[in-house]
Structure 1
Amino acid sequence: MLNIQGRPRRVCDGLTRRDVLRAGGAGLLGTSLSTLLAAEEAGRVAGPRAKSVLFLFLFGGPSQLETFDLKPDAASGIRGPYRPIASRTPGLQICEHLPRLAELSDRFAVIRTMTHRSNDHNACHYIQTGHPLPQAQRGAAGVDATGQDWPAMGSVVEYLDRLGDADRPEDQRRDFPSYVYLPNPLGHIQGYDRAGGYAGWLGGTYDALATHIAKRGPDDNPYFRDCDDEELDFRIQGLDGPALMTLDRTRRRVGLLDQFDAARARLDQAQSTREFGRLQARAVRLMTSTAMRSAFDIRQEPERIRDRYGRHLFGQSALMGRRMIEAGARFVTVVWDCPDGYSWDSHTGSHDVGRHLLPGLDQTLSALIEDMNARGLLDETLIVCLGEMGRTPRPDTSTWGRGHWSHCFPAVLAGAGIRGGVAYGRSDKDAAYPSDHPVSPEDLAATVFHALGIAPDDRVSDPLGRPVAVMDGGRPLVELFG
């Protein structure tokens, strides 16, 4: 059973002030109305190519040499255990374990030259925000998110959408959050709370709506096996089921919320608390929303569609991501996390890479592109798929385990006007460094914002109310768009 942020909430004995603030901090009570039309009319940005972004994050770092930048002519100690196959993209050879994507490569672009110097997993922050990780106290493991972090791209979208929402009548505001994170906040399945996916100093009210799923045991990997519907119940706990809340109960709960008016008047005037009254009204609409219940019920999907995406956690989460886009979300992150300590962080060998990781990615990403295209969603949705790094050209072990390597790794982009059949940038003979057209995380973030019609000089407010530019550097890769 999935719970919001892994915290089952009571549904029959009323909401506390802490409940409401926590729900607001989880991004649950946000709405999503864009400011982009106003920006376009003001002449600050071109019309947006994308209404939404589906961001597939492969935590751990897929190897460039085993995915989209094979080097069959490299030395035997570098080129890897898998053979290349031809794709529909001139000059692009793809791993033999990605046959569906090879046949579909005329629908997407591959950037082969992502690069940065943050050669550890804290680069998750860099990739998801477009900013290097700031110095902060991060707990014993040194990876946990803090309030000093830069806001995730999805949180920026949430913030800007709420600005556009502010002047609309209450009954015209949509009840679906802009930013959704599936199936877990990054690291939660390992017991961490990794930086990069949160609103950081922008404030917890702009965090994603995030679901949570637990492992069956210490050695379980739900990304490597079929998951049954009991554990893939993406419906939000407390919003469905015969024993749960009814409209009458909700109305009584509003009375309980009214009791907090006096306490609310004593709260400081931070952004999140200034919106407290609006959040009350949004909470009622959210809790009674048929659209919310329906969007999170993946059982409404035909069996053949669920099979096509893959019954494993990544496949079903990507399918749920598509449902979130259809329901009104604007930035959906779907994570392939690392529950077993390795997965895409393949230090120890290639056995799981060829058996589970590459076939799972091939199945799900190809299904997503085809499904979004068939539904008419691909033209208005930017799909981005990458990890936070690549892997070392030379293996760490005789079984082709590879270490961290942030200096050259791939990304896949599709939809929203991205030209298919493009291989952008070339790496050197060992796929170790870019030979031309290096692409930084700043460039990637600028490209995402460009697709959404967000200008790099658009401002968000820091905790002191000072305006801060969305991006500090980075060049959108406009040449990727048709």
Structure 2
Amino acid sequence: MLQIDGKPHAACDGVSRRRILEAAGVGLFGLSLPRLLAAEEASGRGQGPRPRARAVIFLTLFGGPSQLETFDLKPDAPDTIRGPFKPIASRTPGLLISEHLPRLAQISDKFCVVRSMSHPFNDHSGAAHYIQTGKIWHIPIGAGFSPTPKDWPSMGSVVEYLDQHRQREGSAGTAALPSYAVVPNTLGRLQETGLYLRPGEHAGWLGRRYNPLTTVVDKKNLQDNPYWRDCSDEELTFQIEGLAPGEGVRLDRVNHRVSMLEEFDGRRRLLDGARRVVEFDRFRERALGLVTSAATRDALDVRNEPATVRDRYGRHLFGQSTLIARRLVEAGVRFVTVHYDACDGFGWDSHVHSDDVKNHLMPTFDQALSALLLDLDQRGLLDETLVVALGEMGRTPVPTPRWGRGHWSKLFPAVLAGAGIRGGTTYGASDKDAANVVDHLVNPESLAATIYEALGVSYELRLPDPQGRPTAIVEGGEPVRDLFG
């Protein structure tokens, strides 16, 4: 018997789905989120979707790749618009791909290109938040760059939140690996020596215990971009953020710090409320568990991969990070974000010219993504892993004199594969100049709803905000089910 507003209700006696979700959001009468979701399922209304994917690998190309130079070429456009790159045929009917993406053109039967992504937030930080959360950032354009505690939780953090609740409900203890990880660095860490950390990947108001496990890989100097150059094994340490040299606690000091925290906690319990203490203990337990976990260390050790596999992905940071993502998913992580970040202007944000895009970014992206899709397929993991690759925006149709392009969030492409996505297809269309969507617009809300539903999470789910109010994880979008076979 379920009690809402102090009145008993059987699971099928007319309790609305909204009432159950609201109760779940605020945790009424001590009932946990998993139990209330189970009650919702038992009522026959709003049963959770059948999961298509066990995991998601989310590749973010920060800075905004040009649609006209990647997956939406317009060879018949005026020469002042169409761009300097030649189109090549792919295995997908009607899909022309850049000459600098030949590997992906050869396996386009394994993925779908969405040519109609669009949103109004024409700003890197705000758009990065929007793409990773499905929610518009609360900071106006130009008023900030970096994460805040009021940010919306990322999709990965929502998955982490739900999985941690399920673990507690089942008394499963602390998992050896997190549900959510970010590699190789938190977004923006290599930009201007970390002055421009970007929002979107964090748990925001949901709470820091649902933040991703994040690794750290540094660059050599200000002008270095390890994302596209070959990196040595000494560089590719993928240390957990906060535990890199000079950043935090060494593993051999963990036990000492634990004893210090125990003493500290004993004093805190005299002053703090029980709820805060429990939350702090759970955060510390998870952090220490991940640090000392052999499964974590093994999954992050790329040296365990055969040299031939590593070569296939590319020895550059983006390629090896994409390989780490496959290792993490194989080990049981449910959501892995891989950033292809900018390094002090050397990135996808190509205002002045497209030389870096042509010579470095597109070849390494082509190599890593094609290797990932083939590797997942050969290992039998592609059917249960949703792969998403996109930037936070596109580029202006009108170029600069040297074929750079400005910011353009009205239109940009996304690549989706695995988990039942119909390969060899396209979705949506742009106008003759690749400036605007003319068919099947897909906004970040719909992308988030699609990803959630693929994972078996209802996109109508509500979570408690800091005031305990039930808050929808998606508003203004629905899953794009036509993408799936």
1:470 corresponds to which of 468, 473, 479: 473
Poorly superposed stretches of 4+, deviation over 6 Å? 34-37
Partner of 2:451: 448
Give the 5 Å matches for 1:187-226: 187-190=188-191, 191=194, 192-226=196-230
SS of the aligned residue for 1:85 comes to strand
Deviation at 1:213, TM superposition (A): 2.1
Partner of 1:156: 158
SS of the aligned residue for 1:383 comes to strand
CA distance in 2, matches of 1:272, 1:430: 55
Aligned identity (percent) is 58
User: Match of 1:392, as an amino acid?
Assistant: T
Is 1:36–1:454's contact at 8 Å kept on the other side of the alignment?
A: no
Tell me the matched-pair count: 442
Is 2:132–2:154's contact at 8 Å kept on the other side of the alignment?
A: yes
Is 2:225–2:346's contact at 8 Å kept on the other side of the alignment?
A: no
Is 1:221–1:339's contact at 8 Å kept on the other side of the alignment?
A: yes
Is 1:408–1:434's contact at 8 Å kept on the other side of the alignment?
A: yes
Partner of 1:386: 390
Give the 5 Å matches for 1:63-462: 63-121=66-124, 122-135=126-139, 142-171=144-173, 173-190=174-191, 191=194, 192-236=196-240, 245=251, 254-266=258-270, 268=272, 273-283=277-287, 285-396=289-400, 398-462=401-465
CA distance in 2, matches of 1:264, 1:116: 46
Deviations 1:333-366 (A, max 9, x none): 1001000314100111121111111111110000
Is 2:216–2:244's contact at 8 Å kept on the other side of the alignment?
A: no
Is 1:39–1:45's contact at 8 Å kept on the other side of the alignment?
A: no
Deviations 1:159-214 (A, max 9, x none): 1111111212254x422111111111111111211111111111112111111222
CA RMSD of aligned residues (A): 2.6
CA distance in 1, matches of 2:345, 2:183: 19
Deviation at 1:256, TM superposition (A): 3.3
Is 1:239–1:287's contact at 8 Å kept on the other side of the alignment?
A: no
SS of the aligned residue for 2:169 comes to coil
CA distance in 2, matches of 1:92, 1:271: 55
Gaps of 5+ in 1: 1-33
Deviation at 1:453, TM superposition (A): 1.1
Is 1:50–1:379's contact at 8 Å kept on the other side of the alignment?
A: yes
- Structure 1 pair 301/270, CA: closer, same or farther in 2 (3 Å)? farther
CA distance in 2, matches of 1:152, 1:382: 16
- Structure 1 pair 256/339, CA: closer, same or farther in 2 (3 Å)? same
Deviations 1:133-181 (A, max 9, x none): 1137x9x97211111111111111111111111212254x422111111
Deviations 1:307-331 (A, max 9, x none): 1111111111111111111122111
Is 1:189–1:213's contact at 8 Å kept on the other side of the alignment?
A: no
- Structure 1 pair 36/467, CA: closer, same or farther in 2 (3 Å)? closer
Deviation at 1:250, TM superposition (A): 5.6
Partner of 2:65: 62
- Structure 1 pair 264/360, CA: closer, same or farther in 2 (3 Å)? same
Deviations 1:426-466 (A, max 9, x none): 11000111111111111111111110111122121211222
Deviation at 1:254, TM superposition (A): 4.2
Partner of 1:31: none
- Structure 1 pair 239/36, CA: closer, same or farther in 2 (3 Å)? farther
**Higher alpha-carbon deviation: 415-424 or 228-237:** 228-237
Gaps of 5+ in 2: 1-33
Is 1:40–1:46's contact at 8 Å kept on the other side of the alignment?
A: no
**Higher alpha-carbon deviation: 71-80 or 333-342:** 333-342
- Structure 1 pair 280/208, CA: closer, same or farther in 2 (3 Å)? closer
Partner of 1:30: none
- Structure 1 pair 224/250, CA: closer, same or farther in 2 (3 Å)? closer
User: Match of 1:462, as an amino acid?
Assistant: D
Please, what TM-score do these two structures have when normalized by structure 1? 0.86
**Higher alpha-carbon deviation: 160-169 or 358-367:** 160-169
